[in-house]
């Protein structure tokens, strides 16, 4: 269990940037393959998850070339890969590329690492079967085989639960098949796919509950990926809970389907301001300024939790420092992320003396004075839990984790970026 870094306490000061948004990077690569001319993508996320999508697309016949500041994607008719597509630890890669293959009618087999093999694939497979795809899973999980789409059947879909990845798989299937579809039953899940397809010229209409897609020839417009809000979130929370902190995170994507963390923290009394708002490649972007603040407990309901689903461990860390009991509801899906993140929240806060009460679909946390107790926190190779431990350590004292390799999934430069705002003290 030993062998990971030990995170030190202390305030954060200065100006920083974070890597390109991971969710948008996946979608930018895939959407660019639908364009007839080469597409330039700047600030692509450098992590392992996006590399999984990039390498899988290359195996399907897409040319992706790296330049000094951008990659260039040149689409081509997709071909059947000679080996299973290795999705590594990326659920986005597996689910969205299943939609691509279904729309393009290109047989493929999908696999991934042990963690990804535990995550559910049946929700996306079932929707794409209705589209007309022949898909076999291993008891609803990977390995998964797509055998072809003899003909498009259903064109009107209802999501059984809001899922940006399932919705995106259907939209990419429609884009490759050249058909119109509608998708209902959403609940304002991430709309990055709708935005990037619309930016490139497709006719897309959406209102947070319903999406209508109509294919049009897409334009070879350059895509500039904004900074990843989920990466910025670690520094936003660390500065909020740590006395003496004052930071600005530049050029961050502030898509309202992603910024539930800011809304929840402001309910708790956080001092966060969004500045210099603008639009970049169809996405809202801004600079986020944060100063330390004393927090009070709040109730985070399912709708708000959906817009902060990747940041729930960080909200739990903030709740550990808030006066009173904070309740976070509607987060049962965290059981099947890269790790069981509800269990990870229990371990993480338990290491600083804060008990967590687990409810049927959420958690309750009574804030206090978290103090690190010398334990090594198990992350189960989950990158977000590893970085959440670093955030907690900023205000609670030194915290060690069992390994740091998972940081390469989304934020390889996390440790050096953290050190850079520590150096400003």
| DSSP characters over 13-47 | EEEE--PBPHHHHHHHHHHHTTSSS-EEEES---S
Catalytic residue among 86, 191, 287, 310: 310
How are strands ordered across the β-sheet holding 325-329? 299-300, 325-329, 362-366, 356-358
Per the CB < 8 A criterion, the answer to whether 142 and 111 are in contact is yes
Q: Of 22, 24, 30, nearest to 100 (Cα)?
A: 30
310 in active site: yes
Burial of 238 (0-12, 13-18, 19+ CB in 10 A): buried
CA angle centred on 23, ends 20 and 28, rounded to 5°: 75
Per the CB < 8 A criterion, the answer to whether 421 and 413 are in contact is no
Per the CB < 8 A criterion, the answer to whether 133 and 143 are in contact is no
Phi then psi for residue 104, to 5 deg, are -85, -10
> Quick one: which H or E segment has residue 364?
strand 362-366
The residues that bridge with 287 in the sheet, in sequence order, are 275
Which residues are known to be catalytic? 310
């Amino acid at each position: 269990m030993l062998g990971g870094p030990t995170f030190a306490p202390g305030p954060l000061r200065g100006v920083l940037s974070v890597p390109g948004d991971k969710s948008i990077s996946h979608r930018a690569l895939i959407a660019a393959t639908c364009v007839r001319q080469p597409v330039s993508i700047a600030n692509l996320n450098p992590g392992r998850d996006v590399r999984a999508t990039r390498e899988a697309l290359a195996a399907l016949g897409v040319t992706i070339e790296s330049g000094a500041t951008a990659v260039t994607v040149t689409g081509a008719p997709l071909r059947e890969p000679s080996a299973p597509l290795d999705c590594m630890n990326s659920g986005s890669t597996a689910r969205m590329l299943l939609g691509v293959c279904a729309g393009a009618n290109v047989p493929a087999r999908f696999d991934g690492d042990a963690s990804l093999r535990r995550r559910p694939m049946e929700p996306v497979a079932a929707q794409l079967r209705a589209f007309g795809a022949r898909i076999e899973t291993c008891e609803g999980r990977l390995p998964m085989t797509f055998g072809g789409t003899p003909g498009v059947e259903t064109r009107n879909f209802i999501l059984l639960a809001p899922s940006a990845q399932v919705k995106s798989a259907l939209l990419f299937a429609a884009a490759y098949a050249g058909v119109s579809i509608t998708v209902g039953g959403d609940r304002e899940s991430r709309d990055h796919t709708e935005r990037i397809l619309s930016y490139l010229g497709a006719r897309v209409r959406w209102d947070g509950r319903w999406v209508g897609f109509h294919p049009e020839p897409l334009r070879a417009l350059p895509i500039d990926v904004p900074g990843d809000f989920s990466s910025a979130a670690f520094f936003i929370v660390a500065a909020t809970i740590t006395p003496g902190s004052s930071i600005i995170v530049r050029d961050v994507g502030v898509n309202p389907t992603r910024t539930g963390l800011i809304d929840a923290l402001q309910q708790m009394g956080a001092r966060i301001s969004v500045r210099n708002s603008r639009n970049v490649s169809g996405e809202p972007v801004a600079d986020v300024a944060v100063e330390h603040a004393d927090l009070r407990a709040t109730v985070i309901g399912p709708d708000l939790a959906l817009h902060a689903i990747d940041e729930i461990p960080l909200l739990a860390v903030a709740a550990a420092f808030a006066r009173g009991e904070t309740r976070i509801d509607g987060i049962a899906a965290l059981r099947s992320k890269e790790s069981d993140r509800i269990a990870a929240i229990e371990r993480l806060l338990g290491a600083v003396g804060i008990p967590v009460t687990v409810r049927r679909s959420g958690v309750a946390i009574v804030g206090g004075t978290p103090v690190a107790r010398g334990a090594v926190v198990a992350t189960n190779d989950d990158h977000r839990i590893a970085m959440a431990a670093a955030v907690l350590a900023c205000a609670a004292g030194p915290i060690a984790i069992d390994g740091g390799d998972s940081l390469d999934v989304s934020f390889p430069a996390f440790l050096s970026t953290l050190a850079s705002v520590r150096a400003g003290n």
